[in-house]
Amino acid sequence: ELASMGAAEFTAQTYFHSLAWFIDRGEFREQVEMQVRAVEELIGHRPRAAENTEFIYNNDVACFLHSMGFSTVVTEGVDWVLGWRSPNYVYKAWGCDARVLVRNYRLSDDVGFRFGARWWDQWPLTADKYAAWLEATPGDLVFIAVDYETFGEHHWPESGIHEFLRWLPREVAKRPRLRFATVSEAASRHPPRDVYDVPPWATISWADERDLSAWLGNELQRNAFALLSWLYPYAKALGGEVLRLWRELSTSDHLYYQATKMGPAGEVHSYFSPYGSAYKAHDVYTAALYALVLHIRERWSAEAAERVVFNDERCFYGGGVKICSLKDLRAVDAGFKERHRRDLLRWLTDVFLLTPAEAERALSIR
């Protein structure tokens, strides 16, 4: 109904709300395309704007999404990236023509976090007060982004959040300087004022310290993520139910629950987690991953091994040759295979999960 009114835009992101970007770019593309198809089927509109999970962003993310046909990418307005600049303008991605909208986190968090905070010197936040703040904010636009759960879960109905939401459009309509716009409308209505440059080694998000530490900040999280990443080529080769299970386990929440932070950030992690501690979350998650390992081993076959392509340290390196698949192996000359026979056989059994007989066959096939 909202889509038919032209009053809302549905943006694309990873279908499983995952960290697929850091595992495999092809998988990232597939998950975004799954989300696009779901929006098209349910809403009848194809998304023109996109985000990565949890506003995770760098220059490569922006340009990859732009190469997929998205004209606008949305992310966090991070102070150290903006410097002296304001989040209230359209920016351009570094390295491509994608337009970038960055969240005004201060005005967003006034609603998302501080709305019901009685200690806040601006409590209670009323619709007319907030609209006045928006009107007084300099710039071309104000990008407000909050969790959908803000309206009824993070802030219960008794807090007045629904009344705030009910009256805000009326208060905005009273102010000639303000009008609502969808992401794509806002991005196309104003020219980019500068480049939003976030190199891959300084990737940002909208969580905690505006980096990746909400999901990959401690050894529990990094070890769990390493196992998830290690399983991907096998799950992809098997496809079907195994791949679906892997994708369910790729959801970023599983790693978020394993954070061991203290202070306000730690309180937020604890609020969302269904577990009593990060260690319990880690135990449950890794148990699920090891169950998936058994699931993969039970269904593995020489045919599945033919479909595996590695892009990490599991490739075979020797004599200036790099082999990442059985197809690569067949392209190698017989002399190389003979010289490295013992190592190749062990590689085929350890990495491709072949039996000794299957490994011998794979090594002899040209």
Please report which confidence band the pLDDT of residue 274 belongs to, taking 50, 70 and 90 as the band edges: very high
247: pLDDT strictly greater than 80: yes
- Is residue 54 annotated as a catalytic residue, yes or no? yes
Q: What is the mean pLDDT of residues 153-173?
A: 96
Q: What is the mean pLDDT of residues 3-32?
A: 95
The CATH number, out of the four listed (3.40.50.2300, 2.40.50.100, 3.20.110.20, 3.40.1360.10), of the domain defined by the range 2-202: 3.20.110.20
Three-state DSSP class for 100? strand
Q: Which pLDDT score is estimated for 88?
A: 99
286: pLDDT strictly greater than 70: yes
Q: Are strands 99-103 and 91-93 parallel, antiparallel or unpaired?
A: antiparallel
Please report which confidence band the pLDDT of residue 346 belongs to, taking 50, 70 and 90 as the band edges: very high
* Number of residues written out for the chain: 366
Domain ranges of the chain: 2-202, 215-300, 310-364
128: pLDDT strictly greater than 80: yes
Which of 9, 27, 51, 54 is catalytic? The answer is 54
Contacts of 198 (CB under 8 A, 6+ apart): 57, 58, 59, 78, 81, 94, 204
Q: Which pLDDT score is estimated for 366?
A: 62
